[in-house]
Amino acid sequence: MSPPRILVADDDNTVRRFIVTLLADRGYEVLEAADGEQAYKVAERAKPDLMLLDLIMPFRDGFDVLQDLKRSPETASIPVIIMSVKDREEEIVKGLNMGADDYVVKPFNSLELVARVRKILEREIRRAE
């Protein structure tokens, strides 16, 4: 069985490289996107098992990408974890209402992030069974 595939979309190279290493070390296959446009294209093409999505990105912001992902039947079922420095209640609620499965505020705890990723992937596997 191939390892779960996770797309990390963040325009900050340091953050992206950190998360990629964090997840790759735990055996996940990790894809990367450095802006909103690329994030949507990679998600549409590769259909990852989970997507970590930053909100503030060039070309298209995370909310915009999330909205389009959830609109299209092809990508609507991809679970999304929003990762953002935006920590206001309204933004968190907006993200979750738009269909995100979880919302992680930066700065984040890396072990907690891995636990959230694992939990969502396990839920998806149970759902598929």
Q: In angstroms, what is the C-alpha Rg of the chain?
A: 13
φ and ψ of 55, to 5 deg: -90, -40
Q: What is the dihedral of CA 89, 92, 97, 101, to 10 degrees?
A: -140
- Show the binding pattern over residues 24-53: x = contacts another protein (CB under 8 A), - = does not: -x----------------------------
Instruction: Determine the 3-state secondary structure of 5 from DSSP.
Output: strand
# of chain residues touching another protein (CB under 8 A)? 15
Give dist(CA 110, CA 103) in Å, integer. Answer: 14
Near another protein by CB under 8 A: residue from 108, 118, 121, 124: 108
Q: Verify binding: residue 56, another protein, rule CB under 8 A.
A: no
Stretch that binds another protein, among 16-24, 34-42, 57-65, 91-99 (CB under 8 A): 16-24
Give dist(CA 54, CA 16) in Å, integer. Answer: 10
Q: Verify binding: residue 87, another protein, rule CB under 8 A.
A: no
Q: Which residues in the 109-128 window bind another protein by CB under 8 A? A: 109-112
Q: Verify binding: residue 91, another protein, rule CB under 8 A.
A: no
Instruction: Considering the complex, state which of residue 17 and residue 47 has its C-beta at the smaller distance from another protein.
Output: 17
